Amino acid sequence: MIGTGNIAARHLSLLGETDTDVEVVAHLSRNPARAEAAAAEFGGRAYQSLDALLGEGRPDAVIVTVPPAEHGAIEDALIAAGVPFLVEKPIGLDKAVPAAINERILSKGLVAAVGYNWRALDTLGAVREQLAITPLRMVLGRFHVGTPAAPWWRFEAQSGGQMVEQACHMIDLARHLAGEGRLLGAAGSFGALPGFSDGDVAGASAALLQFGTVPGVVTATCVLPDGPGPELRLICEGCEIVVTLGAVEFIKGKTVSRVPSGASSYTLQNRAFFAAVRQGDPNAVTCSYSDALGTHRLAIEIAANIQHN
């Protein structure tokens, strides 16, 4: 594990139900005390450098959960060592660094996945079945939450903003279900973030997009501490499909049917990753680095338009 924040803990806490034949051997953090604490809780050893982790820990695979601004050198070292990895989104703060990483991954034929865990939802089969019956006409994605506590998150230069850091999940799932996305326009509003005296990210933002042949709107806000959270709503002929991490709802007039998620999307995503590592098959992951690059480029374009407006 590279990174010891909340997302790293989520991956580790689900490991028992993800794959019983995976052993944690190493933890790396900017804060050595946090790496020691993670090792004490989840097993393995704490390391103070990536070279030591690779040389002494000798991992068969690595999960990378670092802030957006720290991508680049970590992936390069893993690729050079031939170590498969799953990296959490977003995969960078610009287009150039991830594009270069992708070229190196492809040249090595390395298994490399990106943590767009919504793609692993076990309810998506039911969604696709409904889409085959009631054609899709519009996509509405939202990510309406409060401001995360991590100091780096509140600054555009460190997080990329909410569209890049959080709402990218909605952009990615829309691409996955509806087709490639194209930006038509975006805007945001700026001001003080509730509960904080600093930060320069947009408190609310919206993007108008085209996914395949259908229009889409993705909205994001971090000024709602008790907000409804993320969802992707698919507007079809005679039916609305509402996708959340916990369930999918099919709304047909006054009739609502609900299909709950059977397992954590993190569990299913990571299970696919470990299987791909064993098989040496880069295409067996839930979301490959190459595919994630399309989502990342679109999110970066949205962020750039928000800044300019």
Low-confidence ranges of the chain (pLDDT < 50): none
Phi, psi of 306 (to 5 degrees): -60, -45
Query: What is the reported pLDDT for 204?
Result: 98
Whose CA is closest to 164, among 293, 294, 69, 302? 302
- Which residues span the domain enclosing 134? 119-262+296-308
Looking at residue 152, its amino acid is W
Query: What is the reported pLDDT for 308?
Result: 67
Query: What is the reported pLDDT for 167?
Result: 98
Q: Do 38 and 26 fall into the same domain?
A: yes
Widest CA span of the chain, in angstroms? 60
Asked if 225 and 194 touch (Cβ cutoff 8 Å), the reply is yes
Q: How far apart are CA 33 and CA 48, in angstroms?
A: 10
Query: What is the reported pLDDT for 307?
Result: 76
What is the domain count for the chain?
Answer: 2
Query: What is the reported pLDDT for 309?
Result: 63
Query: What is the reported pLDDT for 293?
Result: 98
> 104: domain CATH number?
3.40.50.720
> 172: domain CATH number?
3.30.360.10
Q: Do 136 and 156 fall into the same domain?
A: yes
Q: Let me know if residue 211 belongs to a domain.
A: yes
Q: Do 138 and 61 fall into the same domain?
A: no
Q: Let me know if residue 1 belongs to a domain.
A: no
Q: Do 94 and 32 fall into the same domain?
A: yes
Q: Do 174 and 301 fall into the same domain?
A: yes
Whose CA is closest to 143, among 226, 63, 205, 219? 219
182: its two tokens:
């194209």
Q: Do 71 and 189 fall into the same domain?
A: no
Predicted model pTM? 0.96
